[in-house]
Structures are given as C-alpha cells and as structure tokens.
Amino acid sequence: MSAGVNVWVVGTPAAGKSTLARRLASALELRHVELDDAFWAAGWVPADNAEFLNAVAARTDEPGWVVDGQYGAAVQAYAARAHVVVWVDTPLRVGLPRLVRRTVARARRREPLWSAGNVETWWHAIGPDSIIWYAISVHRGQRRANEELFRRLAPLGVRLIRVRHPDADALVRALRTADALEKEPTHE
C-alpha cells in the first residue's frame, strides 16, 4: 500500500468511525488521526476553531493517513486532501445502543480518552450535555452534511464510499486495488 494514501472516515456519533479508521490504518500501514484528540483539551474544553484547524492541518500535512471525525469545520477545510472518503452511515437504531454501551463502559472503567486524558462520567451519559442526547440531536443534520460533502467532493475526483455496516476487510481489499489511490490528493 502506498504510504501517500489519505483516507477520511466520516459518520454520526457511534457509527463506527474510529474502529473502522483504526482497522484501515493498521491494515494499510497508514497513520491514524483521531479528530477528537485534536478537539478536546483537558477538562472537556473544546479547542478554539483556529487552534483545532491548525492541529488538523499539521496532522494531515504529510500524506499517508486515515482520519476519523465529523467536525464540520475540519471536514470542510481538509476532506478534499483525501483520496478516499468513507461515510459510515450507520442507522441510529444501531449506533445509539452502541453509544450507550460505550459510554457506560467508559464511565465505569474511568477510561482516559485521547491525549488530554478526559474521562467520561455518568453525567456524560445522562446530563444535559449528554453525548447520547447529542448523538440523537445531530444524526439527521450530519447525514445531510455528508450528502452535501459527497456532492462537493464528487467533481474533485475523490473516491467516495458510503457504507451502512462497514466491513473493514472488504474496504481494505477495495482500497488496495483502487486506481484512485495512486494519484495525488486533490486540494481545494
């Protein structure tokens, strides 16, 4: 696999973006870039927009990555650097139970997340800023945003793949044989 391949994985919360991106990065021997790591500072403080976009630019400046994340500003600014964009379009009825299980497990284990070491708590599961309520509220909007992203990227020659239930092995096989992976990334 070419070290210069760039893959961006988008989707709603708990769609399976990070899991798929880790598997793709490992199988394709590419760097994994998790946007949550660039976005969240210690204490669950979000990075300001300019700081976040600079961090994403730095992490995607050199070719050979698999990015996962659905942050609108980053997707708008940098997704065109990808050779391939994979939209994990998992139905809410599949993603929501997955998110509840993941959030409860992380709260129970007090698992540190990303380089900031943030820990999900029970409040993250049930409070007013709950990731679960957030996922429900943004699901339709993010699906519309991804439809628009695909319309925007289609004429740029970016390979666009939309999957409901991602099969990492099948995607790896398809990406290894794709002509799109041998060309230079498209920049806006």
Q: What is the pLDDT of residues 111-157, one digit of tens each?
A: 888 887 888 888 877 888 888 888 899 999 999 999 999 999 899 88
Mean pLDDT of 51-58: 92
Give the percent of the chain with pLDDT over 70: 93
Residues, the chain, total? 188
Domains delineated in the chain: 6-174 (3.40.50.300)
| pLDDT at site 181 | 52
The model's pTM is 0.85
| pLDDT at site 2 | 55
| pLDDT at site 22 | 93
Out of 5-14, 99-108, 171-180, which region has the weakest mean confidence (pLDDT)? 171-180
How many Å apart are CA 106 and CA 87, to the nearest integer? 25
- Between 9 and 188, whose confidence is greater? 9
| pLDDT at site 142 | 92
pLDDT at 85 over 90: yes
| pLDDT at site 68 | 93
| pLDDT at site 113 | 84
Positive or negative: CA dihedral 49, 112, 13, 45: negative
**How confident is the prediction for the chain on average, in pLDDT?**
85
| pLDDT at site 145 | 92
